[in-house]
Amino acid sequence: MKKNMPYSTPEGYFEGLQNRLSEIPARKSRINLTPYLALAASFMLAMLAGNYILMKTTASQPASDDEIVEYLIDSGMTLAQLEDEIYNY
C-alpha cells in the first residue's frame, strides 16, 4: 500500500490508532443523554441562544479566524482572488 510513499509513522502508531478509533462508539454513546438530561440541555441551549442573540444585537464582536475562513470559502472566492486582494491591499 505504501508504495513509493516517502513517509513513516511513529513506532506502533497503527495499533494505537486502531485502539483510539475503536473507542469512538463508546465515547459517542456516553454522550447519549437520558430524557431528563436532554430536557436540561435544551433549556441551557435556549438560554445560550438567547444570550448569544442578545450579545449579537448589543455589541459587535470581532469575527474569529475560523468564521472568516468559513465565510471566505462559502462566498466562492477563489484563492487567486483572495491573494490578489491581500497582496494588492
Partner 1 sequence: MQEQERFFNDLVRQYSEQLYWHVRGIVGSHEDADDLMQEIFIKAWNALPRFRGDSDPFTWLWRIATNESISFLRKARVRAALSFTRIDAEAERISDPSPYFDGDKALRALRKAIAALPDKQRLVFTMRYYEELSYEQISEITGTSIGALKTSYHIAYEKIKDFLTTTD
Positions that interact with partner 1 (CB under 8 A): 1-10, 14, 17-18, 20-22, 24-25, 28-29, 65, 68-69, 72-73, 79, 82-83, 86
**Closest distance between partner 1 and the C-beta of residue 44, in Å?**
22
Spatial distance between the Cα atoms of 53 and 63, rounded to a whole number of angstroms: 15
Query: Would you say 15 or 35 has its CB closer to partner 1?
Result: 15
Cell of 46: 435556549
Q: How far is the CB of 70 from partner 1 (least distance, A)?
A: 8
DSSP state of 31: T
Written as nine digits, the cell of 82 is 483572495
